[in-house]
A and B are shown apart, each in its own frame.
Chain A
Amino acid sequence: MTRRDRVRESLIGWRLASRLAVPRSRKGLAEALVTVLAVALVIAAFGWSWGLGAQLSERQAVLERRSPVWVEGEAGSLVSLDTYVTLSGELTVYRLGPNVGGVDLPGSMAWPEPGSVILSPGARAARSSDQYVDALTRGEQAGTVPDLVLREPAEMVAFVGEDTADAAGPGYRTVSGFGAPSVTGFVEDVTPAQARGWGLVLTVVLGAGALSTLAAAGRLGGAARERRLAVLDLMGCSSPTIRGAMMITAAVQALAGVAVGLAVAVFLTAVGWGPHLLGVRYWPVRVGSVLPQLLILGAVVVALMAVWGAALPGTGALGTRRRAPEGRPSYVRLVPLGVGSVWLASVAAVTVRTRETGPGWTEALLYLFVGAVCLVGLGLVWASPVLVRAAAPLVSRAGADGLVVASRAVHFVRGTARIGGGLCVLILSGAVCLGLFAAVMGPERGSGRGEVAVVLPGLSVSPRSEVSRALAAAMSSPNLAGATALRGSGELEDIAGLGDLRLGDQEYRVLMAGPGATEIAAMTVSANGQPTVAAPLTFNAAGEHVRLLLAGSVVVGAGGCVAFIVIALVLAMVTLQQQHVHADQALLHLGMSRFRLGRLRAAEVSVAGLPAPLLAALAGMAAAPLIETANGESAGSGPWSYVWLLAVPVAASLLLAGVAWLTVPSADRIEVRRD
């Protein structure tokens, strides 16, 4: 064949391929749309969650920008930094003695004179309505804290100018400037390490879910393209031509998906749906800041889909190749599951040991644990063809239907097993999601109503309702070195918070009463015999903030992952049903009733969907006591959790089986055969 012939051939091939690659039927369009939507969903999900992540790190940057750089034992500008929790929200107060040595404030603010104060817009607004804020930020307003130094638009921050006498008190330290490389002196919400760790977990978890959706969509689209392009093979087109056509179709669909996804991400952030999700107000999300990463992700996804699109078809006899049953899956597939199980067991065992000597979970162990769980999940997915293959003979003994079910399950064993693998991962990630959520949001057991002692030095108790007054006074006293409040207790209705307070050299556990508290002994602080401030306090929202952030990441990461896997499962179901469409038709024409065929399809999905999840449930039952011991508590265990472990996979596969049953085709749709 001369070179010209070859060029001619491939030109003709391309013309044909490009014609066939464009879906024309409604079904073909729907299949193409699946790829577009799957890619769009992935891009949008990452755009949105990365946008939130960028915001979080921006918050962190703000905090660093205004962190004092402390220096020990030198003469210089004296500064104290306190965080108070008021009914109007968290208030951060910098008290600044006279400026020695020209220290610059963050955001190029002018250093306040004694008796004057620089307020953020939020603090200024709160001052007129909240006595407490007013008392803590007393002074003539000398300026406004710029946005650059605020973590969120409404944050309350005050820079209060003090004279030399005031700044001599405890709690003041020398600073050389602002802009410490790490956050210092704040009641921190999230440490940078925590933020990075969660970001990583979020990306990995979301990524795994996204990958499964993309793979499922790719497979469905690939099968559709293969059906349409198989004829090219018979018409004598060369394999590179066909592959090229497949690849380009897949890539074009993926590109369309990326475009739609970007638009959705921009829209989501533009309408400001993101900022309020985590229960905290933020500066608006700027997708622009993550656009480069998103574009890279988009390119990777397009490349991935193109490669998958081209990898699916074989050469030669495309149309008939798939009808022979797939080979027996190799037992090598069991290896990752085995390794993962051993790893998981070791982590649990090590944790039990460290529990005996101390902390139980450490961060390293947690990551190892997450890794092991991921490997077990993947291992189950990989092993499920072997499991389905092993389960099939058990079913084939159950009458004619059993034989058909087993034969069908084994025929496309990989496609069938995907249902089981998908269910496994779904249940696993669902459980992890719920577990994390419960761990983050779970109520912290507080002390009982009568046990709480409010102890402050030199206090006299007079009238009982004065407790909040007393605390406010204590906290705004210049002797206050730092106040770190813990989480409020849900069990104490009228107690809004519980905190640790350091006054001089002594630490006290403090109870902060809500506005309605009457029964608890109330005390009055008197430095000079008189309370200085009177205002109700609320509990510290700092811990709350961490909780909400973590809960938010769980929702975004694990919830997103679960959603993606559900989509992947649905796509896998659709693909499987399409593979069986001819057989379904043949059985109907043979005289099998639709009811019976429905039952058969349901049984088939059960054979596909039960073995791996059941195995996972059994493994979970074995592992649960270990994990509980490691946790040092047996909350939520007992026979019911075992029932749940079994019930969830059974219910999930029954649900899928129901779907398979209800979507039985009808006998007279005979045009299917000739599509």
Chain B
Amino acid sequence: MTVAALELAQASYSYPRQEAPAVDRVDLVVEPGERVALVGPSGCGKSTVLLLAAGILVPSAGLVAVGGVTVSGLDAAKRSRHRRESMGVVFQFGELVAELTLLDNVALAGELSGIRRRQARAVARESLDRLGIGELANRYPGQVSGGQAQRCAVARATVHRPALLLADEPTGAVDRANGTVILDELDRSVLEVGTAMLIATHDPDVVSRCDRQLVLRDGRISP
């Protein structure tokens, strides 16, 4: 039996000063190499599930395990380390470092995961090229469009070929053609190193390319 790439067991989370939990006793397993789509209406808790999986938020009850390691039991420093080494995250709001060029943004993620600088920059450049924003490598996030920034975020999340990829609306800001480019880039990681993927999305194209889908409603997985 293989170890699950991601497992949430009865995980719950409430934001500070909020009555209702944003995520309520969620059970979820993603196997290595598997692509899972997380769908549901706006505000149902998709982003929160991803933040829990990434170890940015810690569940108030239940547990989160990534690659067999219970991240919800680790301290902040160990969670950070786990995140930069074995996960890639595409955030809903981009979250690029505004003071770094696109290339440096991507290369930095590689370096943080332990790749040497020269190699990280080479890989980053290739990845930006594939995503069609190679010419913009030396621009700053404030100088590119929303969709271009999103593609950069995808490059950044996949540059170190993580074991687990968490993506929040990765195609939310791009046209269909670029959506396909993004999904190809994500798939490349799945094919090359067996990355497991959890994608929160509203996009039917994305759902159709996933192996299965989970529906979230009011913070609960619906059957």
Please measure, in the bound complex, the distance between the C-alpha atom of A323 and the C-alpha atom of B107, giving whole angstroms: 20
Chain B residues lying within 8 Å of A671, measured Cβ to Cβ, are 15
Minimum distance in angstroms from A321 CB to a CB of chain B: 8
Does any Cβ of A come within 8 Å of B42's Cβ?
Answer: no
Q: CB distance A585 to B112 under 8 Å?
A: no
Closest to A324 in B: B142
Residues 655-675 of chain A: 1 if any B CB is under 8 Å from the residue's CB, otherwise 0?
000000000001110110110
Q: CB distance B51 to A670 under 8 Å?
A: yes
Q: CB distance B80 to A667 under 8 Å?
A: yes
Complex partner residue of A667 from B76, B87, B96, B97, CB under 8 angstroms:
B76
Chain A residues lying within 8 Å of B93, measured Cβ to Cβ, are 673-674
Which of A412, A582, A674 has the largest number of chain B CB atoms within 10 A? A582
Q: CB distance A325 to B99 under 8 Å?
A: yes
Chain B residues lying within 8 Å of A673, measured Cβ to Cβ, are 93, 95
Closest to B77 in A: A593
Q: A400-B112, A408-B99, A583-B98 are in contact. Are A594 and B80 (CB under 8 A)?
A: yes
Minimum distance in angstroms from A590 CB to a CB of chain B: 6
Q: CB distance B97 to A668 under 8 Å?
A: no
Complex partner residue of B91 from A399, A407, A589, A667, CB under 8 angstroms:
A589
Residues 551-591 of chain A: 1 if any B CB is under 8 Å from the residue's CB, otherwise 0?
00000000000000000000000000000101101111111
Does any Cβ of B come within 8 Å of A367's Cβ?
Answer: no
Which of B57, B84, B97, B112 has the largest number of chain A CB atoms within 10 A? B97
Complex partner residue of A324 from B15, B95, B100, B140, CB under 8 angstroms:
B140
Chain A residues lying within 8 Å of B111, measured Cβ to Cβ, are 399-400
Q: How many residues of B contact A (CB 8 A)?
A: 38
**Could you list some 8 contacts between A and B, CB below 8 A?**
A324-B142, A325-B99, A399-B117, A403-B108, A590-B84, A591-B84, A591-B87, A593-B77
Does any Cβ of A come within 8 Å of B83's Cβ?
Answer: yes
Q: A407-B99, A587-B97, A591-B84 are in contact. Are A400 and B108 (CB under 8 A)?
A: yes
Q: CB distance B104 to A586 under 8 Å?
A: no
Minimum distance in angstroms from B88 CB to a CB of chain A: 9
Does any Cβ of A come within 8 Å of B85's Cβ?
Answer: yes
Q: A399-B117, A666-B76, A668-B56 are in contact. Are A586 and B51 (CB under 8 A)?
A: no
Q: CB distance A592 to B80 under 8 Å?
A: yes
Q: CB distance B76 to A404 under 8 Å?
A: no
Chain B residues lying within 8 Å of A323, measured Cβ to Cβ, are 98, 140-143
Does any Cβ of B come within 8 Å of A411's Cβ?
Answer: yes
Q: CB distance B80 to A407 under 8 Å?
A: no
Please measure, in the bound complex, the distance between the C-alpha atom of A582 and the C-alpha atom of B58, giving whole angstroms: 21
Which of A322, A323, A324, A667 has the largest number of chain B CB atoms within 10 A? A667
Please measure, in the bound complex, the distance between the C-alpha atom of A591 and the C-alpha atom of B89, giving whole angstroms: 10
Q: Which 8 pairs from chain A and chain B are nearest by CB? A: A591-B84, A323-B142, A591-B83, A411-B99, A400-B111, A593-B80, A586-B95, A408-B99
Q: CB distance A668 to B108 under 8 Å?
A: no
Q: CB distance A670 to B100 under 8 Å?
A: no
Which residues of B are in contact with A by a Cβ distance under 8 Å?
A: 15, 51, 54, 56-58, 76-77, 80-85, 87, 89, 91, 93, 95-101, 104, 107-109, 111-113, 117, 140-143, 156
Minimum distance in angstroms from A576 CB to a CB of chain B: 12
Complex partner residue of A325 from B76, B112, B140, CB under 8 angstroms:
B140
Which of A404, A580, A586 has the largest number of chain B CB atoms within 10 A? A586
Does any Cβ of B come within 8 Å of A320's Cβ?
Answer: yes
Chain A residues lying within 8 Å of B113, measured Cβ to Cβ, are 591
Please measure, in the bound complex, the distance between the C-alpha atom of A143 and the C-alpha atom of B197, giving whole angstroms: 102
Q: CB distance A670 to B57 under 8 Å?
A: yes
Please measure, in the bound complex, the distance between the C-alpha atom of A673 and the C-alpha atom of B89, giving whole angstroms: 16
Chain B residues lying within 8 Å of A644, measured Cβ to Cβ, are none
Please measure, in the bound complex, the distance between the C-alpha atom of A213 and the C-alpha atom of B190, giving whole angstroms: 55
Please measure, in the bound complex, the distance between the C-alpha atom of A170 and the C-alpha atom of B142, giving whole angstroms: 88
Please measure, in the bound complex, the distance between the C-alpha atom of A590 and the C-alpha atom of B111, giving whole angstroms: 11
Q: CB distance A324 to B84 under 8 Å?
A: no
Q: How large is the interface on A (under 10, 10 to 19, 20 to 34, 35 or more residues)?
A: 35 or more
Chain A residues lying within 8 Å of B82, measured Cβ to Cβ, are 591
Please measure, in the bound complex, the distance between the C-alpha atom of A593 and the C-alpha atom of B56, giving whole angstroms: 11
Chain B residues lying within 8 Å of A403, measured Cβ to Cβ, are 100, 104, 108
Does any Cβ of B come within 8 Å of A595's Cβ?
Answer: yes
Residues 285-325 of chain A: 1 if any B CB is under 8 Å from the residue's CB, otherwise 0?
00000000000000000000000000000000000101111
Chain A residues lying within 8 Å of B83, measured Cβ to Cβ, are 590-591
Minimum distance in angstroms from B137 CB to a CB of chain A: 14
Please measure, in the bound complex, the distance between the C-alpha atom of A527 and the C-alpha atom of B151, giving whole angstroms: 106
Complex partner residue of B112 from A324, A407, A590, A666, CB under 8 angstroms:
A590
A591-B113, A593-B80 provided; 17 other pairs, C-beta below 8 A? A320-B142, A323-B98, A403-B100, A404-B100, A404-B108, A407-B100, A407-B101, A407-B104, A583-B97, A586-B98, A589-B91, A590-B89, A590-B108, A590-B156, A591-B83, A595-B77, A667-B80
Chain B residues lying within 8 Å of A399, measured Cβ to Cβ, are 111, 117
Chain B residues lying within 8 Å of A410, measured Cβ to Cβ, are 99
Closest to B84 in A: A591
Q: CB distance A670 to B56 under 8 Å?
A: yes
Chain B residues lying within 8 Å of A667, measured Cβ to Cβ, are 56, 76, 80
Minimum distance in angstroms from B89 CB to a CB of chain A: 7
Minimum distance in angstroms from B71 CB to a CB of chain A: 12
Chain A residues lying within 8 Å of B54, measured Cβ to Cβ, are 589
Please measure, in the bound complex, the distance between the C-alpha atom of A668 and the C-alpha atom of B57, giving whole angstroms: 6
Q: A589-B91, A594-B77, A670-B57 are in contact. Are A324 and B143 (CB under 8 A)?
A: yes
Chain A residues lying within 8 Å of B143, measured Cβ to Cβ, are 323-324
Please measure, in the bound complex, the distance between the C-alpha atom of A590 and the C-alpha atom of B91, giving whole angstroms: 10
Please measure, in the bound complex, the distance between the C-alpha atom of A325 and the C-alpha atom of B138, giving whole angstroms: 12
Chain A residues lying within 8 Å of B81, measured Cβ to Cβ, are 591, 593
Minimum distance in angstroms from B81 CB to a CB of chain A: 7
Q: CB distance A589 to B87 under 8 Å?
A: no
Q: Which of A620-675 contact B (CB under 8 A)?
A: 666-668, 670-671, 673-674
Closest to B100 in A: A407
Q: CB distance A592 to B89 under 8 Å?
A: no
Please measure, in the bound complex, the distance between the C-alpha atom of A400 and the C-alpha atom of B83, giving whole angstroms: 17
Please measure, in the bound complex, the distance between the C-alpha atom of A404 and the C-alpha atom of B105, giving whole angstroms: 9
Residues 459-486 of chain A: 1 if any B CB is under 8 Å from the residue's CB, otherwise 0?
0000000000000000000000000000
Closest to B86 in A: A591
Minimum distance in angstroms from A669 CB to a CB of chain B: 9
Closest to A405 in B: B99
Q: CB distance B95 to A411 under 8 Å?
A: no
Chain A residues lying within 8 Å of B56, measured Cβ to Cβ, are 588-589, 667-668, 670
Closest to A396 in B: B104
Q: Which of A354-413 contact B (CB under 8 A)?
A: 399-400, 403-404, 407-408, 410-412
Q: CB distance B98 to A592 under 8 Å?
A: no
Closest to A674 in B: B93
Chain B residues lying within 8 Å of A407, measured Cβ to Cβ, are 99-101, 104
Minimum distance in angstroms from B22 CB to a CB of chain A: 12
Closest to B82 in A: A591
Please measure, in the bound complex, the distance between the C-alpha atom of A399 and the C-alpha atom of B174, giving whole angstroms: 33
